[in-house]
Structures are given as C-alpha cells and as structure tokens.
Structure 1
Amino acid sequence: MDGTRITSKADWRCRRAETRELAERHVYGQKPAKPATVTGTVSSSSITVNVSDQGRSASFSAGVQLPSGTGPFPAVVVVGGLGADTSTIRSAGVATISFDPLAVGREGTPRNNKQGAFYSIYGASSSTGILMAWAWGVSRIIDVIESSGGNILRADAMGVTGCSRYGKGAFTIGVFDQRIALTMPIESGSGGVGAFRSIATESGAQPLSSAYGEQPWLGDAFSSFTGNPNSLPVDTHQMVGMVAPRGLFIMDNPHVDWLGARSGSVAALGGAEVYKALGAGDNITYWSDVQDGTHCAVRSEWRTPLQQNLQKFLLKTGNAAGTMRISSRKAGNLAEWRDWQTPTLTDGPGTTPTTPPTGGPSTPPTGGPTTPPVTTPPTTRPPTTPPVSGACSATVSLNQWTGGFVATVRVTAGSAPVNGWTVSMTLPSGASVTNVWNANRSGNTGAVQFSNVSFNGSIAAGQSTEFGFQGSGSGTGMSPTCSAG
C-alpha cells in the first residue's frame, strides 16, 4: 500500500485482500484455509462437524431450530446463544444455529496453551486469537451445510449474530467469510467493532490492553499495539468495509461506557464510506439510539430493522434501505479522523490497488477529540447531479422517520473548479438541525447555512462532494442553493 488511490470495484477486491492480510497479521492472527477434510451431517435439530488436517483431527457440533414451514431455510448462526432476538428471526422464516464457540476456542486459557477444536489441529501455541478460531469454526459449519445437499438449510443465505464477547466473534466471523450474507454484532465493545484509535481516546471505554489481557480474543501480535494503536496499519473501519457490499447491522448500547459505543459509531461511519464507494450504501445499518441500557437486552427499537435485514439479505423479499441511528450520548465524529474523500468505484478495470478507499484514521488532536456532535449520515444515496454551468449547485436527499430525519446534501461544481462553497436552505417550520458532519453550520432553525471543511472545499469541474445533517421534525420541502468561494 503505497498511497495510490483505487478507482474500480476490481481494485477493491484486491484492496480487500490486502486489508485482510494486515488484519490477520497484526490484529486477529491467521485464519487457515479450508482443511484437507471437512465432513459432517445436517439434521432438523443439529449439525456435526469433523475436521482433519496436517495429521490431526477435531470434531464439534451445533444445535438447529427450524421455523415453521417447508425448507430449505436460510439460517442465522447465534454465537454463544446470545445475539439478536431468536424468536423474531424464526418468526421471519429463518432457522437459528446455536454455535458454542468455546468448543472451538476456549476462554480462560493462557496464550501459550490455547484449547479447543481449532488448537487441536493448529497447535496450542498458535498465535491466532480465539475470535479468529471462532470464525474458522463457523466457516466449517458452512462447509458442512454446503456439502449436505441443501435440503434443510441454505448455505447461500447465512447470517451471524452475537452480543458482547460473542458480538466480537460475530463481527470477526462476518468479516472473514464472504459467504455470510448478513452480519449482526451487538454491543461488541473493545476488540469488536469499535475503532482502536478511538477506543484509546474514549473516556470509560475498556482499554485495549484490558481487552487483550482479559481473554486471548485477539491475536498475540496485537500486544505490540495496545498502548499505541496509532501505529497499527489497519483499523476496524476497514474491517467494516471488508463486509461490504454484504448486509451489516451493527447494534450498540450508549448507556454503558465500557462498551465504547462512540468508537463503534466512528468505525461504522468510516466503513460506510466503503459501502458508498461500492454503490451499496443502503446495505449497512448502525443503531445505538435505544432507551434500555441493560447489556444484551432484547430491544423493541431493533425489531423492525432486524426484520428488514432478514427479509433483504436472507429471504430476498425486501429492499429496505439501511440507516444510521446514532445516540447523542455516544456519537462519533468522522470528520475528526479523516482527511480523505470517498471515491465512486467504477465497474471497469482500474489501477493496481495500494491504498484502501477508506484510508486510515488520522492521529487525533493532542488530548483526543472533543465530545463531538451526533454524526448520523443516511445510507440512502442522493440522485446524481450532472455538471452544471456556473459556480456550484446542491441537491438534497432525505431519510425520514416519525419526528426526525437525516439529510444528505450533494454539492456539485459547474464548468470550473470550486475552491470553497456555502450551501443555504430554509428548514420547514418546526424543524431543527441537531447534528452535522463534513460541513460547518450556521443556524439551527429557519434559514441555515453550511460551508465546507478543510478536506472537501476543493471540487474539480463537474465533480461532487457530500455533507449531511440530522434534524428533528420534518425535512420535507427543503431546497438548497450553493455559492462558491
């Protein structure tokens, strides 16, 4: 990775492989390729897995609960029996698979004597952490489903979910197996979705050294970065991007400081830029705007988006757009971390990739970032604005719900480059701006103005940049105008 920006989706496939290599080498440890022999059985109540490789063998099993109706069924792997609401999942017509991760990578063991099916094959002193061991285990379950004939479960419609430590596992599983169509980590905390660089600055969040030492979740190599995550060549916003364009529904709890939800939102916002670059911005949802602070509770706020994600990515019966609902209690500000703009990747051939489109988060200001405003960009892409004559133009796209909205504004240069811009608009009566990202704001109600920040003021002729804001009330009827300079 030498700083060359990628331009095509073909480039991204190579960039994703490079990012995976860095993540394995420095964060999780290696995930070995499919073993020489994987066999097993699938029934209406269980899955058995038998693995042989390098002259060693191991076995483990998982439970199955089918929904009513006639299969074969899509399925969601529930890591450790703790994840998204299983009754909602099965009511939607999706099976659940109860995966015991400790049978594959056991907690409570020293790093030089790791235990479980993974380490029975690859050695107790393997430097691979148990999160990656769990990911390896779920991949073997999918192998068995693929070879079973598909009469009971569908290997091409698999999801995964988990909460807390099992949320860390669910995230890792989804990142490292592209057969997972829908990844749903919940309250995964430090070592999960939360950006490492941000965790180090977030008051009350579990320190990286604590997460590394609590259990051998992360790979042994991560020990070099617990006190200096800025030296990592990769961060979790890039792992979020590795899931793209597949479905991703991240659920967070802003009421428990230890869980680092602010850092989770930073990673989600950064990774969402990869989704946008791939034209899949509607495929990611982040939701921390919840009332109940109980850890790993079943929450009513998540029921509808859970159903929508199951329908869209596993059942193929829906097409609801993803959304970003970030609690004001723990809201990350992506602008504090990024000095790059998001490309739109083409379908054609491009350059040999050397830098991920997300870039790496920059080192935060001395003393860490100040408490940011809520940053909640929608995933609904605004319409493309063709080049126009004159200085600049602006269009707005809305993602609304009862009592609130998110607006994405696209600023497009005309026939000449723009160096600095200001967008003006009048909000509807009763509407108020509560948060903004990628722009400076003047005013909260009525006539408001937004101007560029340092990294998005220069726009080439005919090209565009975007900013967004969240508001209360209704955003219907806004008509933005743009002036350059």
Structure 2
Amino acid sequence: MISSSGRSEIRAAIVLLAIAALAVAGAVTVMTRTTTAQAAAGRLVAAGPVEDDGADCPLPGSGSSPATSRLPDPFRKADGTRITTKSDWRCRRAEIKELAERTVYGQKPIKPASVTGTVSTTGITVNVTDQGRSASFSASVQLPSGSGPFPAVIVLGGLGADTSTIRASGAAIINYDPLAVGREGTQRNNKQGAFYSVYGSSSSTGLLAAWAWGASRIIDVIEQSGGNVLKADAMGVTGCSRYGKGAFVTGAFDQRIALTMPIESGSGGLPILRGIPGESGAQPLSSAYGEQPWLGDAFGPFTGNPNTLPVDTHETVAMIAPRGLFVMDNPHIDWLAARSGSVAALAGAEVYKALGAGDNITYWSDVQDGSHCAVRSEWRTPLQQNIQKFLLKSGNAPGAFRISSRKAGNLAEWRDWQTPTLSDGPTTPPTDPPTDPPTDPPTGGCSASVSVNQWTGGFLATVRVTAGSSPVNGWTVTVPLPSGAGVTSAWNANRSGNTGTVQFTNVSFNGSIAPGQSTEFGFQGTGTGTGMTPTCSAR
C-alpha cells in the first residue's frame, strides 16, 4: 500500500510516458519504461482520457463527518461549501473517491511503475511491476464481425450483459477473470491473487477495488498497444451479481471507461448502504462484508451503523458521471436490495442532471420475473442503444428510468439537499453556501414542479412540492395527464384516478412543509409524460 503522504507527493509529481510497441506474430507487444523520476512518481499519464483526472486535487484528510440517516450531499465539499460550477465537479469527485477508498472499498493504487503486455485478436496478457514486486494475468478476446479496431466491453467472470448482443452491436468482448487478481475464499489477513502479490496479502484493499485495478491494467496495455486491435478510448465494463459489484466499482474508479453496466449487484454494489438495513429480505451489510473480502477492511465497523459513513453508493454512481451508466436490476429477489438500488440511481442521477448529462444514465428494474443473472429481453434494446451511444459513438438515445413498482425507492425520503444549477465556467465562490432551492418560493400557499424521465411507451415523474412564505399542513397537487397517458403506480402520495386529470394528496409523513422547504413524490405511467403542468393547493 502507498501511504497518504506518499500519495500526496505522487500526485504533485510531474510524470512522463514512454511507450515502445512491437508487432510480433500477429500480436502487439508493449512495454512501458520509466526514468528514475518516473519510477519515483509511480504514475504514468497517457494522452486523452486518464484513469483519474483529479489526481492533483487536494484531499479532504481524515476528519470525521457527522452521522446522518440521510444521504450525504454529493455537491458539498469537505470544507462545507457547495460546488457552483461544472468544473468544480472534478475535485469534488476526487474528494468522494478518497472518502470511498478510506471507508468502503480500500485504496486502489495508482498506475504501477511498469506495465507490459500483449494484445492480439484472441487475448491480452498483462505483466505488472511495482515497489519491487511483480505479477501477471491474462484475458481472452472475442471480436465481432467486420474490420477493427473495435470498441470493447470487459466482462467480469463470464457473467454480465448479453455478450451476443454486445458483439452483434459491433463491440469486442474481453473475458476477464477477476479471481486471478483477487481470489475469493481467503481470509482478510491472507488475501491472494495478482493484486496482493504486488501489494501484500495483508493489504486492507477489498476484492472489488483489486478487481478494478486489474481491469485498469488491461486498459493500460490496450492503450499502449497503438489501437490496432482494440480501441482504448471506447471501453465498457459489465458484470452480474458479485461481478456486478466489481463492474460498478471498476467504472467508478477509472475514467477511461466510457460505459459501465452493472447487473443485479446487490449489497456491497449499487444499493445505498443506509437503505439496506431497512429493506426487507436484503442481504445484511454484515453478511456482504463477511461472505467474502469484497469490501475494504475499514468497512467492518460501519456494517452495524452505515449512518456514520461519510459517503454512500449514490456518490459512487456520481463518480461515473458524466460517462455512460446502464444499471440493470432485479426486483424479484429481495436479497438484491433493488429498492435501495433505485434510490442510489435516482440520487446519483441528480449529479448527472447538474452536469448537463441527465441522458447518460439509465436504470432498469421493470422486468419480468426470472433467475438471477438471466439474459432478459427487456434489456436488449437499451443495451444496443448504450453501446451505439458510448462505444460506437453513433447514437444519441436518451437514458431512461424504468423502475419496477415492486421495488420503487423514494429519493425524497433520503435527502435533505437539493440539486444546484451549476454554471458552465469558473466563478468566484460565494461567502456562504448557496441557499436551496435556487429559486424563490411562492409568496404563499404552495407550488409544484415536475421532472420527467421518458422512454418509449412510458415515463417516470418526480414532483417537487414547495411551501411558500407560510407553513403548509397538507397539500393537493393536480396533474393534467397528456392524452393517452395513464398512472400505473405512485409513491409518497395518495392519488385519485389514473387518467385525465389526476389529483395527488400528501400521506401522513410529508404533509407538513416549513416555509420555503420542499418535499417530493413520484409516479410511473404509460404513454407520454412530457408537457405536464402541475398545480398545488395548500390545506
């Protein structure tokens, strides 16, 4: 492991890249050579997208955060102020990354001093040397039809999105065995695999971060190969179940990955950690921590009280923004905590929206019942669209939220922060944090606004109810639905009717709103939801 002080010095260092490439027997052999200064820096930065573009940002340090049952504000920096520009997100993401490493996943080391390997039409080899230790592993390659170079999707453990659809869409498959990098079935003080051969069997880094490190080293080799077979700037990652956890972390911690596709990841993956204890039938955090050393050793004390965590998985979602994210979830198996998963996606999507990239995230749990990690027909079209958009760069289909009514989470129950409007350029930071919501509330009564995620044949609406200058002790929101639209489910509100003009009234816990404050409810429907103009009346 690298100490915190060592990381600071590394991040401040100036680094160079030297690549030598040879084409031998149909394969591209690559080797990175470092000077003494580069070896000391330990970090090589390639042209174009980099693994971590916030490596030079100041870190939050080891200070504690107050315990809260609500999701931490992803827009609030360690110094207590909120970000105000889109460019501020780069270093805010770096803060989240550091906190997540320290408390949830363990540290994912920066690029090793030396990475060598080969890329061919059938396989990839990876050789790593760092801190005087070496390790090797490999992955197989399956190309689509046509002529390359091809975009590629790294599939963890042979379980992930439908590989036949991926290849038919024009992307290659990289079959990566993460157990060669971090084995399961080991004790935390005796971890095994290529990662731990380099960084020590007693490393506090969990398997998910180790697997992510291995995927990044595969990308290093592809990146250095010259792109004759595979395109390093058009990489995706996918996995299901435990490998869904790994795919989620891999995409969050390597910004060279253009499309992240976790499937049915369950506890320790996408679902918010704060929500799992209250979700009936979900795998407990203590079980996810104890079953395998997936999570970092430091997460142990938080299994009984995740409210004390300074981060949560909605911020892991946010680390992927504004890159492509397609989450596939299963609401029919309680163990997978899909309700908490939907909350993580909804909260992380707020960062996507603030960055002007709301169309780059899709969450889809509205599927028929089926076995765990099954290939599902409902996901085929969005899978094709995401590959076209983010890997082939030839499509522009918007993202969608298709949340099953069986496991529909409610973001309003989990946050006490609002999404800021981020400006495009740098501004002078305000003396005090901006006040939410950014617009003035009505002078009296209440107002309602709606945001809609639309997809072919259906939509998801989130309605925000805001009190004016006086407190509200009950409210009714009237929503005229477009012609042909119908409501199929609603949460955090009672409803009257399903078509035409529908009225929603508060439930017991969200009828009282203080002056200037807001609450939210949501509903899912069929047809078109765009163009709705809700009105609010207070009681």
On whether the aligned pair clears a TM of 0.5, the verdict is yes
In the other structure, the counterpart of 1:368 is: none
In the other structure, the counterpart of 2:163 is: 86
Given residue 86 of structure 1, which amino acid in structure 2 is its aligned partner? T
Shift of 1:451: 6.8
Change in Cα spacing, 1:129 to 1:304, as seen in structure 2 (3 Å) is: same
1:434 and 1:444 in contact (8 A); partners too: no
In the other structure, the counterpart of 1:382 is: none
2:441 and 2:469 in contact (8 A); partners too: no
Given residue 265 of structure 1, which amino acid in structure 2 is its aligned partner? S
Pair 1:264 & 2:332 matched:
no
Q: Aligned equivalents of 1:186 and 1:174: distance in 2? A: 13
Q: Aligned equivalents of 1:348 and 1:22: distance in 2? A: 26
Instruction: Map Cα deviations across residues 265-317 of structure 1 (whole Å, 9 max, x no partner).
Output: 11111111111111111111111111132010000000001001001111111
SS at match of 1:51: strand
Pair 1:426 & 2:480 matched:
yes
Change in Cα spacing, 1:316 to 1:7, as seen in structure 2 (3 Å) is: same
Given residue 13 of structure 1, which amino acid in structure 2 is its aligned partner? R
Change in Cα spacing, 1:305 to 1:348, as seen in structure 2 (3 Å) is: same
In the other structure, the counterpart of 2:496 is: 443
Pair 1:240 & 2:293 matched:
no
Given residue 112 of structure 2, which amino acid in structure 1 is its aligned partner? P
Shift of 1:475: 4.4
Pair 1:18 & 2:95 matched:
yes
Change in Cα spacing, 1:387 to 1:455, as seen in structure 2 (3 Å) is: closer
2:239 and 2:263 in contact (8 A); partners too: yes
Q: Aligned equivalents of 2:536 and 2:84: distance in 1? A: 28
Change in Cα spacing, 1:93 to 1:227, as seen in structure 2 (3 Å) is: same
What pairs up with 1:342-421 in 2 under 5 angstroms?
342-350=419-427, 399-402=454-457, 404-407=458-461
In the other structure, the counterpart of 1:380 is: none
Change in Cα spacing, 1:223 to 1:442, as seen in structure 2 (3 Å) is: same
Q: Aligned equivalents of 1:115 and 1:136: distance in 2? A: 14
Instruction: Map Cα deviations across residues 108-149 of structure 1 (whole Å, 9 max, x no partner).
Output: 111111111111110011000111000000100101111000
1:105 and 1:114 in contact (8 A); partners too: yes
Instruction: Map Cα deviations across residues 194-241 of structure 1 (whole Å, 9 max, x no partner).
Output: 111111111111111111111111100011111111111111011011
1:163 and 1:186 in contact (8 A); partners too: yes
Q: 2:398 aligns with which of 310, 315, 321?
A: 321
In the other structure, the counterpart of 2:295 is: 218
Instruction: Map Cα deviations across residues 69-91 of structure 1 (whole Å, 9 max, x no partner).
Output: 11111000000011000000000
Change in Cα spacing, 1:249 to 1:296, as seen in structure 2 (3 Å) is: same
1:417 and 1:458 in contact (8 A); partners too: yes
Pair 1:69 & 2:123 matched:
no
Shift of 1:319: 0.7
Q: Aligned equivalents of 1:356 and 1:43: distance in 2? A: 53
Change in Cα spacing, 1:74 to 1:428, as seen in structure 2 (3 Å) is: closer
Change in Cα spacing, 1:347 to 1:458, as seen in structure 2 (3 Å) is: farther
Shift of 1:344: 1.8
Q: Aligned equivalents of 1:171 and 1:270: distance in 2? A: 16
Change in Cα spacing, 1:78 to 1:338, as seen in structure 2 (3 Å) is: same
Percent identity over paired residues: 75
Q: Aligned equivalents of 1:177 and 1:26: distance in 2? A: 19
Pair 1:202 & 2:298 matched:
no
Instruction: Map Cα deviations across residues 335-386 of structure 1 (whole Å, 9 max, x no partner).
Output: 1111111112111225779x999x9xxxxxxxxxxxxxxxxxxxxxxxxx99
What's the C-alpha RMSD, in Å, of the aligned pairs? 3.3
Given residue 454 of structure 2, which amino acid in structure 1 is its aligned partner? N
Change in Cα spacing, 1:467 to 1:63, as seen in structure 2 (3 Å) is: same
In the other structure, the counterpart of 1:338 is: 415
SS at match of 1:212: helix
Q: Count matched residues.
A: 452
Q: Aligned equivalents of 2:282 and 2:138: distance in 1? A: 35
Change in Cα spacing, 1:344 to 1:115, as seen in structure 2 (3 Å) is: same
What pairs up with 1:45-60 in 2 under 5 angstroms?
45-60=122-137
Given residue 248 of structure 1, which amino acid in structure 2 is its aligned partner? L
SS at match of 1:67: coil
Q: Aligned equivalents of 1:146 and 1:352: distance in 2? A: 38
Pair 1:129 & 2:183 matched:
no
Q: Aligned equivalents of 1:241 and 1:291: distance in 2? A: 28
In the other structure, the counterpart of 2:217 is: 140
2:142 and 2:174 in contact (8 A); partners too: yes
Give ranges in structure 1 of 5+ residues lacking alignment: 360-384
2:328 and 2:365 in contact (8 A); partners too: yes
Give ranges in structure 2 of 5+ residues lacking alignment: 1-77
Q: 2:361 aligns with which of 284, 292, 297?
A: 284
Change in Cα spacing, 1:412 to 1:129, as seen in structure 2 (3 Å) is: closer
Change in Cα spacing, 1:350 to 1:477, as seen in structure 2 (3 Å) is: closer
1:394 and 1:482 in contact (8 A); partners too: no
SS at match of 2:97: helix
Given residue 418 of structure 2, which amino acid in structure 1 is its aligned partner? Q
Change in Cα spacing, 1:395 to 1:235, as seen in structure 2 (3 Å) is: closer
SS at match of 1:169: helix
1:418 and 1:484 in contact (8 A); partners too: no
Shift of 1:15: 1.1
Q: Aligned equivalents of 2:274 and 2:111: distance in 1? A: 32
Given residue 426 of structure 1, which amino acid in structure 2 is its aligned partner? P
In the other structure, the counterpart of 2:177 is: 100
Q: 2:306 aligns with which of 202, 217, 229?
A: 229
Shift of 1:2: 4.2
SS at match of 1:140: helix
Change in Cα spacing, 1:466 to 1:350, as seen in structure 2 (3 Å) is: farther
TM-score, normalisation: structure 1 = 0.85
In the other structure, the counterpart of 1:379 is: none
2:401 and 2:453 in contact (8 A); partners too: no
Q: Aligned equivalents of 2:512 and 2:99: distance in 1? A: 27
Change in Cα spacing, 1:93 to 1:341, as seen in structure 2 (3 Å) is: same
In the other structure, the counterpart of 2:523 is: 469
